[in-house]
Structure 1
């Protein structure tokens, strides 16, 4: 989750992380973030320090006192050594000073997600299909496949729920924001477009099966 009150920055960072295949929630203040954090689990949090309803390090420190362990990266324009030290002392795992490179931020977020104890297994397997989530590599029968970020995200979601039916709405919700990543024309479903591409790249025998009236299931060949 990204907690940032600058809308342009919030949208830009969220778009880049989604393009890299991550599921992203956004909030503009501590109160909104707190509601989401009490309902959902996250692998990493990016907090701007100075938010409309206070300094985020106070909130993070209080949650750490309650046993909260999710990794946190602080963003701030405050670059003094004392400010950076305060960020770490109050529960931050990483600290990035504005202005910053979005590429550097996404690399730091990916690193924190890998360290998170709530993350998915680093390697997912089903039949002769193997996905290394940390290296972002997919192999079928040992052969390395070239997937787009969106294809990787959809396949990862199906792999994590192998042999379970997953509907199109669920895939859309968790794998991309269609407003930022239009994949198809108005008459086609973007999920179907990605599934078609995945089936072609995975080759035969087919692993992704259509569940009539529901969606798709990653099953046995």
Structure 2
């Protein structure tokens, strides 16, 4: 999952970015509202963490702008503004959730998981697909009830495929979900992860659609 973090405080931003990366999210961090608008116009994100008090353009204006353009990306406002009026204004402007600083990182992560579940109409952090089970909260996987050890990248690739069973996910999309701006990506990186996943879940579990990407069969 690729997230956009919009936060001008370097200490807070560094802490949030570190916590998100430790949970295997790809994170792009911008420090002002204009940078947020540029990022949102050039890159698809699974979720936006948006501060309100930003240089160059206020967070509320960024939020209204992206909704006016029809972008439906989930937005979690993370701000020190704690009045009821601010909460109401943020939610009415199109935010999906509102978290007041200071906050516990575990709560932030739980809210992110909830918003990502909602986006794919999932009610729990458990993904079940035939014989395979993924626990998004604990980052654990199993096959026929037996634990399967996955690297962080393998887990992320499998999650992206299971979010859209039956649909082809392009290699470029998988790369975008796994890596932020500064990461170097080898041309065969996704192929390697898919190869490892096939060894662990079966050669036919992930199907190749030549010239496009990969998919897992739709659940029966």
Q: Which residue does 1:130 correspond to in 2?
A: 132
Match of 2:17 in 1: 14
Q: Answer whether contact 2:134 2:159 (CA < 8 A) is retained.
A: no
- Could you tell me how far apart the structure 1 residues matched to 2:197 and 2:49 are? 31
Correspondence for 2:63 among 49, 60, 65 = 60
Is the aligned partner of 1:72 residue 2:75?
A: yes
Unaligned runs of 5+ in 2: 184-188, 207-213
Distance 1:54 1:173, change over 3 A: closer
Calculate the TM-score normalised by the size of structure 1.
0.66
Describe the shift of the 1:66–1:194 C-alpha distance in structure 2 as closer, same or farther (beyond 3 A): closer
2:34·2:57 contact (CA, 8 Å) conserved in 1?
no
RMSD: 4.3
Once the two structures are superposed, residues 13-69 of structure 1 have per-residue CA deviations (whole angstroms, 9 ceiling, x without a partner) of: 122222212222211111111122112221211101001113211221233233222
Over 3 Å counting, the alpha-carbon distance change for 1:176 and 1:12 in structure 2 is farther
Q: What is the aligned partner in structure 2 of residue 42 from structure 1? A: 45
| Inter-partner Cα distance in structure 2 for 1:120 and 1:134 | 15
What is the TM-score normalised by the length of structure 2?
Answer: 0.66
SS of structure 2 residue aligned to 1:38: helix
Q: Distance in 2 between matches of 1:172 and 1:218?
A: 15
In the alignment, which residue of structure 2 is the partner of 1:214?
none
Matched, 1:102 2:105: yes
Match of 1:112, SS state, is helix
Alignment CA distance shift 1:171-1:81 (3 Å): closer
Residue 195 (structure 1) shift: 8.9
User: How many corresponding residue pairs?
Assistant: 207
Task: State which structure, 1 or 2, has the greater radius of gyration over its C-alpha atoms.
Answer: 1
In the aligned structure 2, how far is the partner of 1:131 from the partner of 1:176? 24
Q: Which runs of 4+ in 1 moved over 3 A?
A: 119-125, 131-137, 146-151, 154-162, 169-177, 193-202, 204-208
* Unpaired runs of at least 5, structure 1: 181-189, 209-216
For residues 146 and 101 of structure 1, the distance between their equivalents in structure 2, rounded to whole angstroms, comes to 28
